[in-house]
Structure 1
């Protein structure tokens, strides 16, 4: 046999260099399970690329902890005789400047290493996790990093190394403190393709140790290479011969063709491909069509999906399926991938069977499921796989089982029981049912309870009972708890006689109060009669105590019949005008829904709908509608607007305007760092304007917080949630609302006098507004962080105040400190707060002077303030006023 010598080089123009892959993480259908050190470093997660195809990625983000040294090592990669390999990395890196409150150790680079070995011998501890014995290839830096609010920017870097001499190698990645995601890793080498020239054939040949190294390869004459061995003739167009030696040319396989003579392979036609594992003489195939006849079956918060095989499998037998779950919250918002707690069985990716069961979905929620068909050549196409989509909405689910029931106390004829609510209530719990029977007896009895405790009475002494409890929502009863055995006592409770006499004792003790109560009732009745005789006269009497021309707020609880207040201040809407579309949350009295309101002569509008849960008491109905009676009296662009009520329907409904961006605190946390300081001040100005309007009506809110401010699509903030609000009696020189009921108080937002003495005024609302300012500038951070309520009260009493948030303008923090004056008469009025913020918006330069106080500790008013020497506690308020007057021309 004669041989020719052929020089293979990437710089020879007639020879084409092609790539061949040794390893590609993008096509993994199961976990990569690469080795990491330490365990708290790199983490493998399931992800999706730009075309929503599932991939396996690794991520690490320990930037808040110093001295990071996190390693990630691939599986063993056989060398296959090549001398030089290339590594293509796709990754994204978070911009360190966009991460608040991090030490200077944050990085935006990582290191690439390799380690040669004669076999797959590496363990968790060998080779040692350090640069030697690993060989460093390069430090990898991104072209573009990203901040939290931007889509992750994907960088692509290619590095090569060699010469290699052992059987294979491992790749290793070292992180020294970056926040990054390693999206994919591809290892490949370059080779000169098979070449036929002048009836001589040269085989595929890998490049040398360097990209431009010359490699000598053996070539032979055509009589034993291509074509018929009896004739010195190359294969004609349309035929090929893939192997050297004896044999004849063969026609091109299906869906492939060649127009060249002496071809060793027939390239695939457009739209057809060969997988990396397919031999060169195999037929070309294509991707499958979408799965057919996807059938869904919803059972409360579970779902079963079944489908038929695609009409076209692409000509391959390695067909598998992927199921992608997406959660859809709003009509115009894009659907997002489901949380990891959604369980898809038997698995999400690489399914051979055509059926899955999906569990742990949320009740009353819309979902979209993609069933993808994938085969061995799906990865050859950059577009997303073929899929069919099914959209479903889950039902209201019954609650899960009640946990174990506990016996709190027993007597000869009673059992006092308690239990925890179900782990998954799936709605508002309406009540609980307690089922009990004597042990060994078939007949059982039931009682109901409104709360998670109850007393079962009328039992036999010294008798064992079997007890079970279950919860009820609008979807029905859940499962009973496990049966528990409890026994009554043999003797009666010695305290029972005292308890039996307790009503008499209380009655005697309170007899003296009857006269006082009677006098109060007579006075109220007289006032009611006076108002019922002439509502105009009643309003005129109230106007005597306020400034002329100012509208006064009327407390609905002063009405003898609460329905009168509803009919006076709220518009009754016909049920045919309302359409409920989606449950978006839960309130104190029932569910909150999004829907549409279409009234005659008016355009259809999106509205929020509050529902009163079934089984309500008359008092619950009164308290529920009282908020509508309050809202119906307000008309201001920064106060939530009432559209009307439905009191004749079941359930009872309250209709308000719909605020697309929801509560202010969660909206700010979701958009951390996105707004300019001018935009934040504009939000604060709107809240202050709404509170000025309420204050001018002699009205106190009592629960002003960012969670009770709603935001619409135009970033307009509106005061809402009037459940704790009350009318201010302005007949005295010091109008207050004093709560004598001992109800819950939001400690972190409440002024000291309101906590200590239950004295609520517009000045206490100003204190709460200062906390709202801090929440807004800090993008929804929790006031006082993780301090306990007791620690907060103690710190405030000792003149400690919240420090300025990061990048907070000095003038804003000074205004906060004025709102937190211990003496409530020194706090600014809402009218002056609005005026101050208006000046700031007109003079934006004042917002650029940023305080440098660290936001991790409380600030003591008696300590050192920015720009001042240490002062005594008595002079701290004067310091604040001086700072405000130096910055803005405002009156203190």
Structure 2
């Protein structure tokens, strides 16, 4: 309740301060009520009576110096002139008159000569040079202000009432002026005269302070400064500006970019910048309140731009100051070893405490010990790790290259982004491992078909031998799998039977313990005994030689066949890889339609990278797409710089087909890598909503960007934009991709004015229920008629040549600063006109070479149109020769049948109001400024200048030029004498 009361009180204070500062202030130039001596004004009359200075009483019965006159004859004029009144820089002043007037019926004067009015004049002068005869006592050289009539008349026996009139004088240009009163048959008393002007009071608004300002014209520009603890961003900021009206009222809102400095927030309705309280912070300049310090951080003073971490907590170098402070993780849990031979597999569980971070990794430290419990030293070279020794993402590592019968100490450590900052070092869990000793055969007893082998028992005592494994192979046949055999034994002796006589065998033995198998011992060769009378040996040798010869012949024939097939394979132009993405021998990348996949999701997985939703932060909705909202957000992938992204979302309740159509754009974009093609960052399909992330283009769609900056770019800048679009389309055409919907609305512009082709979602062509009027029904789908080539409209023949036609329309859109092609013509009228060989005329100030290039793109025969490579070359030539862009298209130039501009010429009659005129020239944003400045009719625009436009807040040179040229084209004649603005 107390907090609510304080908020209400603060609001009342803000409202009261706003009202007080909004009320115009007055500065008095003259007030006869305050005079204590005779006024001694100058009077003139050809006959009696004259104006007479007497003491009188005002409406509050205070004694004042007054002038009065009561004429019997109204045929002569009686003048009264004040002393020189200095204007003090004011261009408009106000005169407040307090007077009484006697009713004619109460006088004895003839009614025809009696009047109940008087006239007020003024005369300007740079010096106090008025005399009894100068200036002349006549209407000229004075300037008449008004004929003043009384609202209340005095009559016999009636109530005494006073008349108060306030009149405006101006414009004033000289040092001072005289007031003159002319009576012609009136009986009146001038009780007081107060002359004053209005000025705008000192004002604080939008974190800007503006000084007291005297309006010297219709509107007076005031230059202010930022409030304390506020500043303007940028290297060359413009000071805050605001306009003071002639009535002493501030006009509209100030033009300012003042924002509170880091550590300060706007308060009291943006009247001041207040320091963030203790425990709060504000990182940068700009709007927004102070925020509570993130977890495990604090501030010790007011006005902090960041919060420091509490003891034991840290921020990584890549963490922003507004992220919580974190700490290193605890030790990994329960490491489990598996020893096999001289290799080791370690697995463990994640720490109980991750330290508040998600960038958890592991590392393994290896130390070799002289004996269990003895001193250890770092492992020597030759020990290998998979996947690595440090930076392990999972919880498993394989280690090999260990020495047999050796004790090792392995420490598994958990680390995160702040572990290097901790003085205590990473926490780890240690486990000791002893590898198994190798076993070698030492004794043998041989016969013709058997070998009896014996080996010594390993001397290590801390492992119990469970079993031995013996591996034996025929030495002549090498280590082929079918020539090697294994045998297990529970004792250190084994008999090998059924062996070949007179044959060498290679034998190895290893032991198995609870820790797994040890390494095989050294290979030892033993030989079985031959028969005493082996007469078949020569025949055996001969057979072996014959078999070897046949085997060699077969190998030679197979090699020849392989070479022939391989040579024909490389000569076949139709051969390609399994995806068809590269033509054999050419190396040309070809676009792959995702709808040709049996499962379109496979195309998405192949061409688009899946991003974890935790890496994306949505900040604001910036538009709406066909499938859902379009947002701006930030993408932060560990190890990479954070950057802004545009996020297309798939709204809930979608069907499987809508999801496929939505993600198809990602599988298309993912195949393109070009500086003038919108870049796909990745997709999010593992959570809701489904998202497509692309690079963020700060200036949005090209058509709306050009309309917003009408006239602000030079021809060479516009050609640079067109060159970028053509380069992107050249890349797409070389990949055999047809865009089908190339238009300025589908070109995006970044902060460096780089244009990039976008909108690769082809689903709109497959839907008949589209509500977009740009796309018109035709057999098979929707077509953007105004941008589409004739053969594509008639026969749905979409090729790179039809994209060239669309590019010509984009050129026309760019050079006309976002004008709608074919203006208000219907789609059917456009189709008919194109069939009759009508083409769009050159936009205003369009270089001749550019319009000719447009006409080349609009050739009826698609084979006659240039390729995008030709267009890029032509634009490069224009950029290298800027003088060629100064040759503009003249009226009558171009094709034999140019499409005439359907818009009727502007005339004062066709533009009934200033608002109609501004809307006709696309400058309707300034309508309110014109009306507030007093331009309420077309005739008032006759003498407007560049300075007048600046006072109206029109600072863009292109907009000034467009408005002034339009006024000149209108041919407005000013028929009102004098300055119509006043």
Which category of TM-score, normalised to the shorter sequence, fits these structures? 0.3 to 0.5
Larger Rg: 2
Higher RCO, 1 vs 2 (CA within 8 Å, ≥6 residues apart): 1
